[in-house]
Chains A and B, each alone.
Chain A
Amino acid sequence: MTTLLTGVRPPRGFTGNAWTRFAARRLARLLISVWVLVTAAFLMIHLIPGDPVRVALGPTASPELVEARRAALGLDQPLWLQYVHYLGGLFSGDTGTSVGTGLPVSEVIADRLPATLELAGYAFLIAVVVSVPVGVGMAVLTRRGRRRKTELAFTSTSVVLGAVPEFLLAVGLVYVFGVQLGWVPVAGRSGLGSYVLPVLALAVGPAAVLARLLRVETLSVLEADYIRTARAKRLPDRIVYFRHALPNALTATITVGGLLLSAMVAGTVLVENVFAWPGLGTTIVESIIAKDYPLVQGIVLVYGTAVLLVNLAVDVALALLDPRSTIKES
């Protein structure tokens, strides 16, 4: 081997299986996170001060009824045994039974999940498609203090839009487009028109935040030494921006993009409630108020898993875009 002959060692961090090690490490982290999540969902009920069954059934319920419900939920067993049963149930796909409807939790979730996924998916897609060109374009246009007015208009608009929470935006949209203009339906999930307002309500805030962030990141990337190198190579602007600036600006943005996507998953809860959208968000609120704990547990697990998957996707995307990130943590 040449390296031995010349006495040169490969620099630290370089090994052919960097990817394998990255994948293994990432998988281990995911498993630990899932375990923490499952345990947290399990403990949720036990953390409730007092007797959750008594709390759920109210002070007027007879002791017999309380006991019966406790037994049905398995709450009369020792904690570790309940934990074992809970884990065992999860492995076999059994997430318990909804107290309110008597339906299996997994069935309720399977029924409601697609509506929520659609909402979050479309909203994220629109946020990205809008924010990337706007953010990068703004950076190029307003670089080095050019076009101060455009910059001010962009910054203030994006600050305001980014600060308005999705449920308020949703109410505003309902008022303008539903009540005043009457263009689109404002409740339920039926036909393409009913998607417009909920998706908009979810997408606008993150799009504004992402666009602003991308502008800042692109600006700082454009000042980087390697951009100066690219210019010193006399490459055309097009190549400087797309090959050298954009991937680096995206790298820095992906982490926040992931956080925004997670937040969007959570935002669906509120938006669904404004639009009476038949998704998980309306269901979890109903079940919290009705103290339907098995159903709450199940939905918390779904949301949590979604967030963990988003994080995983972020790490993989980072690894693909930025070769340094696969070795960063070792």
Chain B
Amino acid sequence: MSELTFEGVSVRFGGRRHGLTAVDGVDLTVPGGSVVGLVGESGSGKSTLARAAVGLAPLHAGRILLDGEPVRRGRRSRPALQMVFQDPYSSLDPRMTIGDSIAEATPRRGPARRAEVTRLLDLVGLGADRARAYPGQLSGGQCQRVALARALAGDPRVLIADEITSALDVSIQGAVLNLVREVQRELRLSLLFISHDLAVVRYVSDFIAVMYLGRIVEYGPAEAVLTDPSHPYTRELLAAVSEPVSTGEADPALRAVADVEPADPHAPPPGCRFHPRCPVGPAVLDGRDLCRESEPVPQGHRHLAACHFAAGR
């Protein structure tokens, strides 16, 4: 069981003038053998954080540690972190049989390799006879199973799952979620599970981290975050999945805040990044200019929230 830690991780794209800080000083820990669900909207930087962990996005600042050691990457070193992607079709080479795709990712050589491919296919619920199939001959759900098998082929200590069900039809999502959970428990993997869907994240996660515009705004045990959300953004996400849609607030200020467009990640607002949309922020309540001026730091014990006026504080 390995622990994955992000320490002050920042990722920047583009030049100085038109640049975009997709991930901005993120601290996050995936405790050994547990599932951390990372939830956020598009542009929040959650996928970039994942890609940074496996070396697909350059780190601008901070470090990523595996059991306290900086993650090594490069050729020969066996990759201890593996990732499963969103789009099941583009994540498999259409010119390679799925057996070859999996085999490429195993460190084993020779006859042991074939046995390993068979074992992995079996693990994800596909028959060994499928090894000679091409991705085009499989359904989306089956491709996603293959992608999981390939990720497991490297004997990873930590697995990252980036929106693995959002491209699938609803009747198939459940099967893939079940499989991921099962594999995670069986192999006692640490899992960083990324999704925009809070209900899905709730179902698989032991801990939940909420990301907004490149920052983690709330983090804690799943139960605590869901039953007692401290950050107003988390509360809004919860409302979006659990409350019926109503015409909205009577209070014009609250209504105005509820209609504000999400901020442009290229030009995040100063102070607390959520303040223009915040129902308990300076746009609604008097005397909360602090939110415009200074950026809140995550506070709390085990359950952190980056809000100057976090609920219950």
Contacts and interface: CB of A to CB of B under 8 A. Distances in A.
A90 to B, nearest CB: 34
A7 interface: yes
Contacts of B275: 7
Contacts of B177: none
Interface string B260-281: 1101101101000001110000
Nearest to B256: A6
A9 B260 contact: no
Nearest to A10: B264
Interface in A6-51: 6-9, 11-12
Interface in A297-330: 330
B121 interface: no
Nearest to B283: A7
A71 B17 CA distance: 51
Contacts of A330: 18
B260 A6 contact: yes
Contacts of B256: 6
* Interface size bracket, A side: under 10
Contacts of B264: 9, 11-12
A9 B267 contact: yes
B269 A7 contact: yes
A8 B269 CA distance: 10
Nearest to A7: B276
B266 A8 contact: no
Nearest to B267: A9
A8 B262 CA distance: 8
Interface string B236-271: 000000000000000000001000110110110100
A329 to B, nearest CB: 11
Secondary structure class of chain A's binding surface, majority of residues: loop
Nearest to B261: A8
B260 A7 contact: yes
A11 B263 CA distance: 9
A12 B283 contact: no
Nearest to A11: B264
A11 B264 CA distance: 7
A12 B18 CA distance: 10
A19 to B, nearest CB: 17
* Interface size bracket, B side: 10 to 19
A7 B267 CA distance: 12
A5 to B, nearest CB: 9
B277 A12 contact: no
Contacts of A7: 260, 269, 275-277, 283
A7 B292 CA distance: 11
A123 to B, nearest CB: 42
B264 to A, nearest CB: 5
A330 B266 CA distance: 13
Contacts of B18: 330
A299 to B, nearest CB: 40
Interface string B24-55: 00000000000000000000000000000000
A2 to B, nearest CB: 12
A198 to B, nearest CB: 48
Interface string B1-40: 0000000000000000010000000000000000000000
B102 to A, nearest CB: 38
A101 B233 CA distance: 81
A8 B267 contact: no
Contacts of B276: 6-8
Interface string B281-312: 00100000000000000000000000000000
B266 A12 contact: yes
A11 B265 CA distance: 10
Interface string B106-122: 00000000000000000
A12 B275 CA distance: 20
Contacts of B269: 7
B157 to A, nearest CB: 39
A11 B276 CA distance: 15
A288 to B, nearest CB: 44
A32 B73 CA distance: 40
A64 B277 CA distance: 85
Nearest to B282: A7
A240 to B, nearest CB: 31
A222 B8 CA distance: 49
A28 to B, nearest CB: 15
A7 B264 CA distance: 11
A6 B263 CA distance: 12
A2 B5 CA distance: 43
A100 B260 CA distance: 74
Contacts of A11: 264
B290 to A, nearest CB: 16
A330 B18 CA distance: 8
B20 to A, nearest CB: 9
B31 to A, nearest CB: 37
A12 B19 CA distance: 12
Interface of B: 18, 256, 260-261, 263-264, 266-267, 269, 275-277, 283
Interface of A: 6-9, 11-12, 330
20 contacts: A6-B256, A6-B260, A6-B276, A7-B260, A7-B269, A7-B275, A7-B276, A7-B277, A7-B283, A8-B260, A8-B261, A8-B276, A9-B263, A9-B264, A9-B267, A11-B264, A12-B264, A12-B266, A12-B267, A330-B18
Which 10 interchain pairs have the tightest Cβ spacing? A7-B276, A12-B266, A12-B264, A7-B260, A9-B264, A8-B261, A330-B18, A9-B267, A11-B264, A7-B283
Given A8-B276, A9-B263, A12-B267, 11 more contacts: A6-B256, A6-B260, A7-B269, A7-B276, A7-B277, A8-B260, A9-B264, A9-B267, A11-B264, A12-B266, A330-B18
